[in-house]
Amino acid sequence: MPLEALSSLLLAAADAHAAGAVPIVLLALAFAIVGAKLAGELVERLGQPAVLGELLFGVLVGNLALFGGPDLRHLAASETLTVLAELGAVLLLFHVGLESSPAEMLRVGARAGIVAVVGVVTPMLLGFGVGALLRPDDSWMVHAFLGAMLSATSVGITARVLKDTDTLRTQFARIILGAAVIDDVLGLVVLAVISGVITAAATGTTLSIAAVAVILLKAVAFLVGALAIGSLISPRLFRGALALQSRGVVLALSLGLCFALSYVALLAGLAPIVGAFAAGLVLEEVHFERHRERGEPPLHESLEPLIALLVPVFFVRMGMLVDLQSFATLSVLGFAVLLTLAAMVGKLACGFVAPEGVSRLTLGLGMMPRGEVGLIFAAIGSQLVLAGRPVIDASAYAAAIFMVMATTMLTPPLMLWSIKRSAAARPIAG
């Protein structure tokens, strides 16, 4: 059977050429980049931010099976596309961090801290209330976990809207970004405490304060260490790098620092984007002005094409993870809507501690999206068991996804509207 032998041989050759995931990644990247750009253009013409178009394009692609198309959602779970999406988020937050400095962040530090605490405590209380109201038979610990699920801000969406509206250097942007970083730390502690309490209850033991302190210490040590050491080292590093002759030294060293700090953040139990943001903060473009004199483009310009390739992968993938079918039953939908309202109102409460001259609404809206962090909390909750049942059951999980989806989708148009509205009312602070 020469033809059969040959076709199996060709398959082997194609496989070898293909190195496993290469073909599907090439195809997915081609579709994601072009589709995201066209969808972004479409919604921009409707006066909406491009990122909403990318998310909706992802939802469409991920739910093609509902319209008789192929089921493509499993693509979003592929290891390589997950990593490419995460690299996109890392580069986006690195870019956002570049627009600010540790000194500027410290200036808004106290205020960002207050905003973060309000943005963690209020949604927790409201989420607890929704749980107690709709699921009175469950333990208070389940209600507390539902509340904890609403606590952590996911800053990717907001960062993108701030970048697209050119408002990264405003006071409210710095407060939101600072609060979101503190939020990530607080969210981690809340998750650790409530999960620890549930695990302890299930095994009949208690959670030690020392264990909680270790989590908090690791996260704070990372933030303080990265900012302090980074600020000290990076000027020397880039001055030393001037001795190197080849082009692209600044880009290589900067990306190296960005990826390295993202990795260290993971070791400290934080999201990699927190490390990338810290790396962006400590890098000051002024340190490599001499490289620019050689005719190399400034760092933030070099990052643009990387962001153009990888960031749409992040947002399209996030949209693809949405399963429209999980909202088919009315009781799930009711629970989901109430939980989402709690999540939104809880973060809008941050607006009440906004300083003079900052729009309360814009600040609150900026804290609203939950993104992947909410999904991570839900996934951990679905693996915790209390009284023989998962803490986050199937309908609570669907509600969590609805909450993440709604806060993620609503934030870009609402923020755009709110930023334009307050810009019309008064000039934006430099």
Residues 315-374 that bind a second copy (CB under 8 A): none
E runs forming strands in 384-424 = 385-386, 389-390
For 130-138, which contacts have Cβ atoms below 8 Å and span 24 or more sequence positions? 130/335, 130/338, 130/339, 130/342, 133/338, 134/334, 134/335, 134/338
Among 302, 326, 382, 395, binds a second copy (CB under 8 A): 302
Residue 191's nearest CA partner among 155, 151, 222 is: 151
Are 84 and 264 in contact by the 8 Å Cβ rule? The answer is no
Binding part of the chain for a second copy, among 138-146, 257-265, 282-290, 340-348 by CB under 8 A, reads: 257-265
| Residue 249 binds a second copy (CB under 8 A) | yes
Are 258 and 91 in contact by the 8 Å Cβ rule? The answer is yes
Among 106, 263, 325, 352, binds a second copy (CB under 8 A): 263
Among 256, 294, 324, 421, binds a second copy (CB under 8 A): 256
| Residue 19 binds a second copy (CB under 8 A) | yes
Among 52, 126, 175, 255, binds a second copy (CB under 8 A): 255
Residue 390 is given by DSSP the state E
Question: Min. distance of Cβ 171 from a second copy in angstroms?
Answer: 26
Among 106, 304, 328, 357, binds a second copy (CB under 8 A): 304
| Residue 133 binds a second copy (CB under 8 A) | no
The tokens describing 173, both together, are: 């942007």
Restricted to residues 142-201, the positions that interact with a second copy (CB under 8 A) are: 188, 191-192, 195-196, 199-200
- Nearer residue to a second copy within complex by CB, 66 or 260: 260
Question: Min. distance of Cβ 297 from a second copy in angstroms?
Answer: 8
- Nearer residue to a second copy within complex by CB, 259 or 335: 259
Question: Min. distance of Cβ 254 from a second copy in angstroms?
Answer: 9
193 backbone dihedrals φ, ψ, rounded to 5°: -65, -50
- Nearer residue to a second copy within complex by CB, 219 or 332: 219
Question: Min. distance of Cβ 340 from a second copy in angstroms?
Answer: 22
Restricted to residues 86-125, the positions that interact with a second copy (CB under 8 A) are: 86-87, 90
What's the farthest any 2 CA atoms get from each other in the chain? 81
- Nearer residue to a second copy within complex by CB, 291 or 360: 291
Q: How many CB atoms lie within 10 A of CB 123?
A: 31
Question: Min. distance of Cβ 358 from a second copy in angstroms?
Answer: 28
Question: Min. distance of Cβ 363 from a second copy in angstroms?
Answer: 26
| Residue 206 binds a second copy (CB under 8 A) | yes
Are 429 and 357 in contact by the 8 Å Cβ rule? The answer is yes
| Residue 380 binds a second copy (CB under 8 A) | yes
* The residue to which tokens 């890392």 are assigned: 90
- Nearer residue to a second copy within complex by CB, 196 or 235: 196
Restricted to residues 229-248, the positions that interact with a second copy (CB under 8 A) are: 244-246, 248
| Residue 253 binds a second copy (CB under 8 A) | yes
Are 101 and 124 in contact by the 8 Å Cβ rule? The answer is no
Are 260 and 276 in contact by the 8 Å Cβ rule? The answer is no
- Nearer residue to a second copy within complex by CB, 135 or 292: 292
- Nearer residue to a second copy within complex by CB, 293 or 301: 301
| Residue 44 binds a second copy (CB under 8 A) | yes
- Nearer residue to a second copy within complex by CB, 175 or 193: 193
| Residue 382 binds a second copy (CB under 8 A) | no
- Nearer residue to a second copy within complex by CB, 258 or 344: 258
**Residues 334-354, buried b or exposed e (16+ Cβ, 10 A)?**
ebbebbbebbbebbbbbbebb
Decide the pairing of beta strands 385-386 and 389-390.
antiparallel
The string of DSSP letters for 316-338 reads: HHHHHT--GGGG-SHHHHHHHHH
- 41's CB contacts (< 8 A; 6+ apart) are 50, 53
Question: Min. distance of Cβ 55 from a second copy in angstroms?
Answer: 16
Question: Min. distance of Cβ 352 from a second copy in angstroms?
Answer: 30
Restricted to residues 208-227, the positions that interact with a second copy (CB under 8 A) are: 208, 210-211, 215
**Residues 277-314, buried b or exposed e (16+ Cβ, 10 A)?**
bbbbbbbbbebbeebeeeebeebeeebeebbebbbbbb
- Nearer residue to a second copy within complex by CB, 16 or 425: 16
Question: Min. distance of Cβ 102 from a second copy in angstroms?
Answer: 21
The Cα 176–Cα 350 span in angstroms is 10
